[in-house]
Amino acid sequence: MNSDGQFEEKKDLTADADVKIPQADALAASAGGLASGIDLLMGLEKQCRVGNDLTTLKRVVLHAIQLCKKSGDYEKLIDTLNFIVKRRSQKNAAITEIVKEAIKYIDEAPDEDVKIKLVVCLRDITDGRIYVEAQRARLTLTLSAMYEAKADIENASAVLQDVHVETYGSLSKREKLEFILEQIRLTLAKKDWVRAYIVSQKVNRKVFADEGFGDLKIRFFTLMVEYFRSQKDAFQLCSSYNEIFRTPSVQADEAQWKEALKATVVFLFLSPYSPEQQDMLHRLSQDEKVEGVEGLGGILKLWTRKEIIRAGWGEQELLSMPVVAEGEMSKHWGETMNTRVVQHNIRVVSGYYQRIQGKRLAELLSLGAEEVEKNLSNMVSDGDIYAKIDRPNDLIRFSKQKSSEEILSDWASDITSLLNLVEATTHSISKEMMV
140 and 96 part of one domain: no
> Rounded CA gap, 245 and 252, in Å?
10
pLDDT tens-digit profile of 356-365?
999 999 999 9
12 and 114 part of one domain: yes
φ and ψ at 388, to 5 degrees?
-130, 135
112 and 166 part of one domain: no
Q: How many domains does the chain have?
A: 4
327: pLDDT strictly greater than 90? no
What pLDDT does residue 4 have? 47
What pLDDT does residue 404 have? 82
The least confident of 184-198, 295-309, 314-328 is 314-328
44 and 148 part of one domain: no
227: pLDDT strictly greater than 60? yes
332 and 230 part of one domain: no
Domain end among 243, 261, 294: 294
> Rounded CA gap, 98 and 86, in Å?
13
C-alpha closest to that of 277 among 221, 239, 313: 239
Domain membership of residue 286 (yes or no) is: yes
Domain membership of residue 42 (yes or no) is: yes
Q: What DSSP designation does 304 have? A: H
Domain membership of residue 105 (yes or no) is: yes
Domain membership of residue 184 (yes or no) is: yes
> Rounded CA gap, 23 and 154, in Å?
48
Q: Which pLDDT band holds residue 402 (cuts at 50, 70, 90)?
A: confident
32: pLDDT strictly greater than 80? no
Query: Which H/E stretch holds residue 115?
Result: helix 112-126
Q: Which domain holds residue 104?
A: 1-119
1: pLDDT strictly greater than 60? no
Q: Which pLDDT band holds residue 294 (cuts at 50, 70, 90)?
A: confident
Single-letter code of the amino acid located at 349: V
Query: What count of other Cβ atoms lies within 10 Å of the Cβ of residue 333?
Result: 22
C-alpha closest to that of 175 among 137, 143, 212, 206: 137
| Across 156-179, average pLDDT | 88
Predicted model pTM: 0.81
Q: Based on the number of CB atoms within 10 Å of its own CB, is 318 exposed (0-12), middle (13-18) or buried (19 or more)?
A: buried
Decide: 166 and 176 in contact? Cβ < 8 Å: yes
Single-letter code of the amino acid located at 129: R
Domain membership of residue 433 (yes or no) is: no
pLDDT tens-digit profile of 47-79?
998 888 889 999 999 999 999 998 888 999 999
304: pLDDT strictly greater than 70? yes
DSSP H helix total and E strand total for the chain: 22, 3
Domain membership of residue 435 (yes or no) is: no
Query: Which H/E stretch holds residue 390?
Result: strand 388-390
8: pLDDT strictly greater than 70? no
3: pLDDT strictly greater than 60? no
